[in-house]
Amino acid sequence: MEQDKLIKSALISVFDKDGLEPIIRQLDKIGTTLYSTGGTQKFIESLGVKVIPVEDLTSYPSILGGRVKTLHPRVFGGILGRRELASDVAEFEKHEIPPIDLVIVDLYPFEKTVASGAADADIIEKIDIGGISLIRAAAKNFNHVTVIPSKQEYPMLLDIISNQKGKTTIQQRKELANKAFGVSSHYDTQINAYFSGNGQSFEKKVYGAKTLRYGENPHQKATFFGDLEKVFSQLHGKELSYNNLLDIDAAINLMAEFTETTYAVIKHNNACGLASRSSALQAWKDALAGDPVSAFGGIIITNKAVDAETAKEIDKLFFEVFIAPSYDSEALEVLKQKKNRILLKLNPFTFPEKNFRSLLNGVVEQERDWKTDTIADMKQVTKAAPTEQEKTDLEFANKIVKHVKSNTIVLAKNKQLLAAGTGQTSRVDALKQSIEKAKNFGFDLNGGVMASDAFFPFPDCVEIAGKAGIHAVIQPGGSINDKLSIEYCDTNNISMVTTGTRHFKH
């Protein structure tokens, strides 16, 4: 078995040519013999680099409109041949098969073609056959062959051929083989998902594994699978934990609902403080006022740049994580004074279309709750109509209620979260909890609004809320007893709107 292997020959067959030129030029510089076909061959020739057409190697033309090009014993023999076996070497010589030391492939973009809404015939044509076979063959024979299964590995290859004089180590080839089988697995998973569009199977391939400090509790091991760097950049602080990630996920999903300057404090996946204001400093102060006790050790998030003045105020609080799209240099200097404090810079990214989680002996998958109820979605069901300010607050409160654990009630006024009753088995208990919290922190509920994640089966909630000073209510509606709650509101001059959309969160 060879440990270090000099790349003397390479077979290159890629769909996307971006990033390929420096690799071609460096391979040519170190004297590597290049084989290629079709568009890749023409690209290499356009660079003025000598390349041998695969058809010359196989003595057989590309056929069926390019569907069959590399599927030939002289190609796959050169990849799969075991150099340490005398019998394989003898067959190389007998059949005039040149050994191939490097295989570079970039597969047809099947996944992107499906996502584009292309016709079935176009999607089928983007199922790569030769490329995936080359990847698997080269990966299998990693003892002798280096495989580059996608553009993501181009930097690693360029480093090897530039700084290691074209020699690969067995460790590098095995690492690339592992990545190759990952690419192959993901590719087949996407094809399978396309053909079983009726959802009869569940398969996901998520790249990247990060071992966490521990799981939900210290005695539990945990790993995050995915690419966190696409979501945020960590600027400072200790390693993220499992619970940190859960709170970060909740915080980012919640903040995506707001465009006005907003600050929020998250604790155990729920908002304990949130306010939208014209200034960042005031937004922070009013968010913290929502529950300064729970804010201790929580997660802070904002949707605007963090300035030094606001950072100095925030620095007075002990918190675990701060998430923002950017930080002023002076603000960073202030916030970095605590060595374990985690500071994250949020990157623009797209939320997955669906959520999934393990359940019993399987997995449950559902579409994301994309629905955000606006003032336009509100249907007035009472004689009294909410004022313009109350409509704004109802919309504000309903954005929060969507992201709080059920059963939940949210109380708000002047675009400030006054209190939330979270994760209660009874909606009445959630309401009582929120009223008690609001009063404990000195809020006046008179003129405030109430949002509920689900309908009211009885009028008890609107009665309790009305007596506490709530003037306007938003809820999905849909109970057979809706009229009882509406009648109470009409009798007591409380306005109520329905949205027709429930927002349970478990």
Q: Report whether pLDDT(369) > 60.
A: yes
Q: What percent of the chain has pLDDT over 90?
A: 72
More confident residue, 86 or 443: 443
pLDDT of residue 83: 83
pLDDT at 154: 92
pLDDT at 204: 72
In tens, the pLDDT along 263-289 reads 999 999 999 999 999 999 999 999 999
Nearest to 472 by CA among 456, 490, 450, 454: 450
How far is 272 from 406, CA to CA, in rounded Å?
A: 14
Nearest alpha-carbon partner for 422 in 289, 297, 242, 250:
250
Query: What pLDDT is stored for residue 313 in this prediction?
Result: 97
Indicate which residues carry an active-site annotation: 140, 268
pLDDT at 1 over 60: no
Identify whether the C-beta of residue 392 lies closer than 8 Å to the C-beta of residue 501: no
pTM: 0.75
Mean pLDDT of the chain: 92
Beta-strand relationship, 5-6 and 298-302: unpaired
Tokens of 255: 């903040």
pLDDT of residue 200: 62
In whole angstroms, give the CA distance from residue 217 to residue 88.
54
> Which of 63-72, 225-234, 287-296, 311-320 has the lowest average pLDDT?
63-72
Please, which residues bridge with residue 167 across strands? 6
Please say whether the beta carbons of 22 and 162 come within 8 A: no
Is the pLDDT at 40 greater than 60? The verdict is yes
Residues 6+ apart with CB under 8 A from 89: 81, 83
Instruction: Tell me which range, 81-95, 196-210, 346-360, 485-499, is most confidently predicted by mean pLDDT.
Output: 485-499
Arithmetic mean of pLDDT, 342-353 = 93
pLDDT tens-digit series, residues 122-146: 898 888 888 899 999 999 999 999 9
Give the model's confidence band at 198: pLDDT under 50 very low, under 70 low, under 90 confident, else very high.
low
- Across the range 334-358, mean pLDDT stands at 92
- Residue 105's pLDDT is 92
Three-state SS annotation for 267-335: ECCEEEEEEECCCHHHHHHHHHHCCCCCCCCEEEEECCCECHHHHHHHCCCCEEEEEECCECHHHHHHH
pLDDT tens digits along 2-30:
588 899 999 999 988 999 999 999 999 99
- The pLDDT-based confidence of 365 (bands split at 50, 70, 90) is confident
- What's phi and psi for 190, nearest 5 deg? -65, -40
- The DSSP letter of residue 387 is P
pLDDT higher than threshold 60 for residue 199: no
Query: In which residue are the tokens 């949130």 written?
Result: 274
Phi and psi angles of residue 168, each rounded to the nearest 5 degrees, phi first: -110, 150
Give the pair of three-digit tokens for residue 246: 């859960």
Alpha-helix residue ranges (DSSP H) falling in 153-267: 154-163, 170-195, 242-255
